[in-house]
Every structure is written in C-alpha cells, then in structure tokens.
Structure 1
Amino acid sequence: MLTGLPITSIEHVGSTAIPGLPAKPILEIDIIVPRGIVAPATEALISAGYTHCGNLGVTDREAPKAPDERPARNVYLCVAGTLHVRNHLAVRGALLANPTLWNRYGAVKQQLAIEPGLVIHRYIAGKSAVLQDILAVSDLTDEEKTEIYELNTRK
C-alpha cells in the first residue's frame, strides 16, 4: 500500500516492542518518512481502507486508523527526526538496555492498570515520572525532555 514511497523505517514501538513488559495488546507502529511524504503516505493508507484521524495533537504526525483490528494496532506516519519519533525510539532503547528501568516501568504500568475508572490522560500522566527517568539516559536535550513531560501531563 505504500509501494513506491520512500520510507525511512518502520518501527515497532511502545510496550509491546519490549519483550516481557506488561502491555495492552495493541501494537504501536511508527512509519517514519521524509517530511514531504506524510501527505502521500496518508492518502495511500486511506486508499487502502484506513480512516483519516488527523494528527491527534502531535505535530509532524498522522494517525490513520486501521480498517480492522487484526492485530489491534495504532499506526502513525511520522516525519523522520522529529521529537515524537526520537521519544519513541529513546524509550524503547532505554527499556531494552536497562533492566532496572524495565522493572520500574513495568511495575508502574501494572499499578496503573488496576486503578478503577482510570482514563487515558491519567494513565499517561501516571507514567510520566518514570518516563522522565527513562528519558534521562537518552540523548534528548533538556528542552525536549521538558516538552515531552508537558505533553504527557496535560489534560
């Protein structure tokens, strides 16, 4: 469906990309493309049955919804090199490399999962402190880490 378009990479990110980490059974896939390719790639996915959902508040990203739930997945078309992409890759890399952070993040996710009536923005905010510790070992700048923190804690 994206045949003929330049794709920088396709990355499995999110908790399901980390072996053994507690995770919702939903794949997170970043299709990373050069800046000028997001619109044609979005159109190609729409032509293949995906629904256009916009960027869901994240600059330089589109979040088309898959036409089916097999497997359950969130697909994102992302501009290469942007903070969104670098954040996903930094978190994945740190969790794969650091068992202490892996254990801590897993424990936080499990604790949040049992909270009654938990809504998504509270779930994201609840993970924010450990995510900041995860990002502390990344090559993101302090300004980028602050921006990610603010995105994760907004309501």
Structure 2
Amino acid sequence: MPEPISDEDLQKVTVTELVPHNSTIRLDEYTDEWPRLYEREAARITGVLGGVVRRIEHAGSTSVPGLPAKPIIDIVLEVPDSADEDAYVAPLEAHGYTLRIREADWFEHRLFKGPDTNINLHVFTAGCEEVERMLRFRDHLRAHPADRDRYAAAKRELSARVWRHVQHYADAKSEVVREILARAR
C-alpha cells in the first residue's frame, strides 16, 4: 500500500482549512440519482463558464453503474489552461462553488466543492493525460464487471478502516487502480 500523503503536504495544496476526517468512509450503493445530479451540475457549470469549458465528464465511482461510492459526484472539467485561474475561478465562486485544492505540481489540478450538491469538481488543462487516465478507468469498469467487482471489494475493505484524511483512503486504492488500468490499455 502506498505511503499516505502527509498532513503537511495536504495542507500545502489545500486552499481552505484542512480538517481531519478520523473516521471510516461512507459508501452508498449505486443509484440512478447520481447521473441525474451530474447532468444538473454539468449544465450549471457550462452555463456559468460558457466557452471556457472544453470538456466536462462524469468520472469516479458514481459514474459506474453497479459500483458503490462515496456519495460525492466527481466531475472532470477541462479548460484551456487550468493554471489561468482568472478565466474560471471568480465566475464559479460567484455561483457558490468553493476552491478547496490547488495542486500546481500535479497537472495544475484544481478542486472545487459545489454550492448545494456534494461534488468534487476537478479542473485540468484540456488534453491532460490524467483526464484520459480517469476516463479510461471509468470506461473499463463500465465494460468489465469482473474488474468493477474487484474494485468494489477493495473499496469496501478499505472503507471500513479509520482514515485520518479521505485522501489517505484514495491513496490506499492506488494499487488496485494500477492493476485494473494495466488491463484497460
């Protein structure tokens, strides 16, 4: 299992206060509500940003029918240049989105929370290889039930543990994700 990211490193990329989780991870069974929530948020984000949006996709476990997930809708947004925060941060914040994470050293990733729906809005530069990896993983799980079930089993096992930060839980899934992605190529 990979070494969890340190509190110090988490604090460096967290724009708001870093609050420890210190609990297990809640997983819900898949629901058709998740794609509906994604569609609503995608329309809202596209309405706010207009032509700045290069691509918007539902990603993460809530985008895979049959997969249990934290009840948080992961949305991937590609913009011309995610480092150019002037192009998108203020309009999103004016509509209630909150910038929580800025990772200049990891694909210039930004993460926002939503105004009224529990989302993780991941912002990357258009054409980013990480987006392609995320979507390849999603599409593979949708098409390969055995790998979806393998991933679900790993998530259930790991979610039962107490995690100081949710990111540590995400990091702990890295090995099974790499294993599945190797088959997705």
TM-score (norm 2): 0.65
Is the partner of 2:115 in helix, strand or coil? Answer: coil
* Counterpart residue number, 1:51: 98
Residue identity in the other structure for 1:110: R
* Counterpart residue number, 1:42: 89
* Aligned residue-pair number: 136
Residue identity in the other structure for 2:163: L
Q: Are 1:16 and 1:27, in contact at CA under 8 Å, matched by a contact in 2?
A: yes
Q: Deviations over 1:52-74 (max 9, x none)?
A: 33424633222122223xx2111
TM-score (norm 1): 0.76
Question: What is the distance in 2 between the residues matched to 1:14 and 1:137?
Answer: 18
Question: What is the distance in 1 between the residues matched to 2:110 and 2:171?
Answer: 22
Structure 2 alignment gaps of length 5 or more: 1-46
Question: What is the distance in 1 between the residues matched to 2:73 and 2:50?
Answer: 25
Is the partner of 2:158 in helix, strand or coil? Answer: helix
Residue identity in the other structure for 1:28: D
- Cα RMSD between the aligned structures? 2.2
* Counterpart residue number, 2:108: 60
* Counterpart residue number, 2:11: none
* Counterpart residue number, 2:59: 13
Matching residue within 45, 66, 76 for 1:30: 76
Is the partner of 2:74 in helix, strand or coil? Answer: strand
Identity of aligned residues (%): 34
Q: Are 1:38 and 1:77, in contact at CA under 8 Å, matched by a contact in 2?
A: no
Is the partner of 1:55 in helix, strand or coil? Answer: strand
Question: What is the distance in 2 between the residues matched to 1:53 and 1:131?
Answer: 24
Is the partner of 2:58 in helix, strand or coil? Answer: strand
Structure 1 alignment gaps of length 5 or more: 140-155
Q: CA deviation at 1:86?
A: 1.6
User: Within 5 Å, which residues of 2 pair with 1:114-125?
Assistant: 114-115=160-161, 117-119=162-164, 120-125=166-171
* Counterpart residue number, 2:152: 106
Is the partner of 1:5 in helix, strand or coil? Answer: helix
Q: Deviations over 1:6-31 (max 9, x none)?
A: 32221110000001101011100111
- Of 19-28 and 77-86, more deviation after overlay is shown by 77-86
Distance 1:18-1:42 versus aligned 2 partners, 3 A rule = same
State the structure with bigger RCO (CA 8 A, min sep 6), 1 or 2: 2
Distance 1:85-1:102 versus aligned 2 partners, 3 A rule = same
